[in-house]
Chains A and B, each alone.
Chain A
Amino acid sequence: MSKQPARRNLTLTIDGRQVTVPEGTLVVEAARQAGFNIPVYCYHPKMDPAGLCRICLVEIEKIPKLQIACNTQVADGMVVHTMSPRVAEGRRGVLEFLLLNHPLDCPICDKGGECDLQDFTMSYGPGASRLTEPKLHKPKAVDLGPTIVLDEERCILCRRCTRFDDEIAQERNLVVNERGHHSLIATADGSDYRSYFSGNTTEICPVGALTSKAYRFRSRPWDLSHADSVCTQCSVGCNYRIDSRFGRIMRTFTRENTAVDDGWICDRGRYTFNYLYEPSRLRQPLIKRDGEHQPATFDEAIAIAAERLRTAARKGSVGIIGGGRLSDEEAFALQQFAREVLGTDNIDHRVGLQKYASPSRHEARLEDIDDASLIVIFGAITPEQAPILDLRLRRAVARRHAKLLFVGPYKPDLPVPCRHVEYTPGAIAELMEQLADVVHHGREERGEGFVAEIAQELADAERIIAVHNGRDPGAIEALEKLMDRLHDYDHPVGILVVGATGNARGAEAAGCVPNLGPGYAELGRSGMTAAEMFAAAADGKLDALYIAGANPALTFPDGELVRRALQRVPFLAVADQVLTETAAYADVVLAAASFAEKSGHVTNLEGRQQAFAQAIEPPVHVGSDLRILAAFAQTLGKEWAIPDDADALFAQLRHVQRAARPRSPKDPLPRPRVDETSLSSADQVDATHQRFTIIPVPRLYAGGGASAHDPGIAAMRPAPFATFHPDDAARIGVVHGDMVRLQGRGGSIDVEVHVGPQAPTGVALVLADMPQAPVNRLLDASGFGSATAIKVRSVAAAPPETIEVTA
């Protein structure tokens, strides 16, 4: 598959040891392979060599001057010395210069103990400075933005941070200003350094110049305990380490898994943990008495809930919702709870717009993006929903000139060239079918026009990766058929599905859907989908609901239906970490453990099952979902169904999942059932007046659970907004910053007006999953909706009489 010409192997000698490496290898990497660590500051294996700091000097025979190992390629027969007296002298000199104005405030520096300047000075540096003049002083706490503080005195100008922002994030907002010893890390006109990837710069900064606000002055590295974990904030499943001190999380840190995260994590993943220490964290179960939630013991809560669920189950009138925010073991336990303990198939993890969390065939790996020549995104907003996957896309486009095609209702904000094909969700299926047809009928008959043009791009591509959001079953089917066609014509193709929740795919594979058991086992029968359960409950036809780690009141498209369902259902139990919009309705709330407080496995969007270790103990009255479900099983006399033992459950799950990988086009994986109400109605709205089609837009920092209660994330959350096309904004008389009330089928929300050409005319792009302004009030179960926009306040604080009141 690889198109690179085979590279010659070269043999060289490093400190007397022979090493053979491919042509083009840098001396620093060759040395690493030979077991010698050459000190580096500016060099970083994920970025292009820059040759700025000179600490990596080595002696190469036949070259008179010392050379930098980080930007010198190996040659056959090269003889390198990394520890000769000349090298030692060179390093000493470089360090003396680096330390010339360095403040040496190691005792109060976050980096102290894991700082390359400290370490290399200890190993190679001069013991004392010869400088007698006073040191140059610079600002020590420059606020770079919501996440990062810069100490200019400590910066050694290695430019790793700016090169990260350029080469890896492709955003190019962090730069070096001025020159010489005046140089400093800065942004345009002192604007905020805002990037979803900002935290990574604090890790790659070799000194304590870039510090993260979340961790500043919180701990010394040698006091931290480490746990190897996996981020579950989205479905990418980046590997990370949780560092805690005295049982409290201090920070998270990358734990490179090249195949998944390439050594980076995003800020949502990195900084979402302080909600655990907020008063809003549920620290014990709650029972509703006289309309008020009262604290209760674990056993009390389990006893009441178990009894009510059993009674409802006897009448076959119980439903279970959740799984996408649980571990694989817990998702499996949840389906055991439904099917084995309560005897119902009414179980569904799908509480958003997503219907499918995996491809039925042509499964791709994240790494396949690295050699894709054409990447087609259908609907998934990758920068917001899968940031670290997006970094891979950016690299493919910016560094390898892969083509990026985005098919969807609006163009997401991407820092790399991307061709946008505007198609409303309902119409995507049609486009796919046309494309499949054109691909099938051969080059000559492809004809002219837009469809033909895209078909041509598909036909020319060497390797195609499609990324979709699993939302529109018709479109997905058509996409898969298109991929079949391309596959028939010998194009390597692959499909990735961005999960709606961190473990959506794990939940699907564990059987948290009404018609499939664990391992996609077809049951030949089906319980109710989440939408059907809500409809039944709203009609008074469901006696009890159990919701685990899901917040449909905010995320399910028909918010009004959920509200009625949760109000009307005679018994509702919810397990979660905070009192979510959903939990607020519950008769019994169980306090659930976070991922940091338990261990197990999660399955990421490519189907990779990854283990995560427990980092800290949960509060005393808080139990993992597994412990909660096991307690239910035991209370109901079915302890055999759910052992309180993640390892035992994992073994069982593995056993049933063995045959469950997406298969060949002829033998695809079976699909979770989708009900009629969830299918897109694609109703067209007459946009001549003040009525707009509502399209919910995801944002990394939106959400109702942990992110809404995390002080660090809160600082980065946008206020609820809706983006209108400039023409529409002019037509309804609003400008950027005004407030409008969007009045739709299930009520109204007030949002700030944004104006931008990315909004198609007649459409309001509304920030999704915001508790203060839940867009799902305006949507039906299929995710479509429309609303009237009425200005309620102008940008400048408006006098009261201009406020229009709507009925």
Chain B
Amino acid sequence: MTPERERRASELVARYPESQSALIPFLQFCQAHDGYVTQQAIHDAAEIAGITPGEAESIASFYTLLFKEPVGKHKIQVCRTLSCMLRGADELQQHVRQRLGLGNGESSPDGRFYYEEVECLAACDRAPCLQHNLEFHYDVTPEDFDRLLDEWRASDPGVSMPAE
């Protein structure tokens, strides 16, 4: 573990009654730096949480905001659960795929875009919902998406999402 990570780990562990609670914030911290959750991060996290690497990976893989491999910097996640699908998410998905030239779970070769269809984002009242990095966009139409895409194309979100 790098000294910086060790420092962060002990801060996080001190914050909770159980060291296991530090697992996810620690992984987020590592991801903010590495761009995804590396195997090293999994092993370090397991060590600080007192669990096996298998368990750490199991927990990490449960979350769609923790990436197990390098992905594009702009992470675009479109909801595919019931409310959104009833409100046109399938059209939106098709449109996004076509615009980005990416399938579900794929990143662009230049490493700028990542596209994924995810389960309910808990914004069903304003479906269909799209998440860009940690930001929500509601009632998204294909036209809205085009506008957003132009913005994103012009920007660089840095290596990854903020940790907290």
Max chain B C-beta neighbours (<10 A), residue from A175, A178, A179, A187: A175
Chain B residues whose C-beta falls within 8 Å of the C-beta of A174 in the assembled complex: 54
Evaluate contact between A172 and B62: CB separation under 8 angstroms: no
Known: A172-B51, A172-B52, A178-B62. A188 touches B119 (CB 8 A): no
Evaluate contact between A188 and B57: CB separation under 8 angstroms: yes
Chain B residues packing against A (C-beta within 8 Å): 39, 42, 51-58, 61-62, 119
Contact for B61 among A171, A172, A173, A177, CB less than 8 A: A177
Interface string of A177-209 (1 = CB under 8 A from B): 111100000111100000000000000000000
In the A-B complex, the 9 residue pairs with the smallest Cβ-Cβ separation, listed nearest first, are A175-B58, A188-B53, A188-B54, A177-B61, A172-B52, A175-B54, A173-B54, A179-B62, A188-B57
Within 8 A of B (CB), among A560-587: none
Max chain A C-beta neighbours (<10 A), residue from B39, B51, B57, B119: B57
Q: How far apart are the CA atoms of A174 and B62 in the complex, in Å?
A: 15
Known: A179-B62, A188-B42, A189-B39. A172 touches B55 (CB 8 A): yes
Known: A186-B58, A188-B42, A189-B42. A180 touches B119 (CB 8 A): yes
Chain B residues whose C-beta falls within 8 Å of the C-beta of A180 in the assembled complex: 119
Chain A residues whose C-beta falls within 8 Å of the C-beta of B53 in the assembled complex: 188-189
Q: Which interface class (under 10, 10 to 19, 20 to 34, 35 or more) fits A?
A: 10 to 19
- Closest CB in chain B relative to A197 CB, distance in Å: 15
Question: Which of chain A's residues has its CB closest to B61's CB?
Answer: A177
Using A172-B55, A180-B119, A189-B57 as known contacts, list a sample of 16 further A-B pairs with CB atoms less than 8 Å apart, ordered by residue number in A.
A171-B52, A172-B52, A173-B52, A174-B54, A175-B55, A175-B57, A177-B58, A178-B61, A179-B61, A186-B54, A186-B58, A188-B42, A188-B52, A188-B54, A188-B56, A189-B42
Q: How far apart are the CA atoms of A172 and B52 in the complex, in Å?
A: 6
Q: How many A-B residue pairs have CB under 8 A?
A: 36
Please tell me if A224 contacts chain B, counting CB pairs below 8 Å: no
Question: Which of chain B's residues has its CB closest to A181's CB?
Answer: B119
List 11 A-B pairs, Cβ < 8 Å. Answer: A171-B52, A172-B54, A173-B52, A175-B54, A175-B55, A177-B62, A179-B62, A186-B58, A188-B52, A188-B53, A188-B56
Chain B residues whose C-beta falls within 8 Å of the C-beta of A186 in the assembled complex: 54, 57-58
Please tell me if A176 contacts chain B, counting CB pairs below 8 Å: yes
- Closest CB in chain A relative to B38 CB, distance in Å: 10
- Closest CB in chain A relative to B78 CB, distance in Å: 16
Chain B residues whose C-beta falls within 8 Å of the C-beta of A172 in the assembled complex: 51-52, 54-55
Max chain A C-beta neighbours (<10 A), residue from B52, B54, B55, B57: B54
Q: How far apart are the CA atoms of A186 and B51 in the complex, in Å?
A: 16
Q: How far apart are the CA atoms of A186 and B55 in the complex, in Å?
A: 10
Q: How far apart are the CA atoms of A171 and B53 in the complex, in Å?
A: 11
Contact for A187 among B39, B51, B54, CB less than 8 A: B54
Chain B residues whose C-beta falls within 8 Å of the C-beta of A179 in the assembled complex: 61-62
Q: How far apart are the CA atoms of A676 and B119 in the complex, in Å?
A: 74
Chain A residues whose C-beta falls within 8 Å of the C-beta of B51 in the assembled complex: 172
Chain B residues whose C-beta falls within 8 Å of the C-beta of A173 in the assembled complex: 52, 54
- Closest CB in chain A relative to B76 CB, distance in Å: 19
Q: How far apart are the CA atoms of A172 and B53 in the complex, in Å?
A: 9
Q: How far apart are the CA atoms of A174 and B58 in the complex, in Å?
A: 9
Interface string of A52-70 (1 = CB under 8 A from B): 0000000000000000000
Q: How far apart are the CA atoms of A175 and B56 in the complex, in Å?
A: 9
Question: Which of chain B's residues has its CB closest to A162's CB?
Answer: B58
Evaluate contact between A177 and B55: CB separation under 8 angstroms: no
Contact for A177 among B39, B52, B57, CB less than 8 A: B57
Chain B residues whose C-beta falls within 8 Å of the C-beta of A187 in the assembled complex: 54
Question: Which of chain A's residues has its CB closest to B46's CB?
Answer: A188
- Closest CB in chain B relative to A101 CB, distance in Å: 17
Q: How far apart are the CA atoms of A531 and B129 in the complex, in Å?
A: 80
Q: How far apart are the CA atoms of A189 and B69 in the complex, in Å?
A: 12
Question: Which of chain B's residues has its CB closest to A173's CB?
Answer: B54
- Closest CB in chain A relative to B63 CB, distance in Å: 8
- Closest CB in chain A relative to B23 CB, distance in Å: 14
Q: How far apart are the CA atoms of A186 and B42 in the complex, in Å?
A: 15
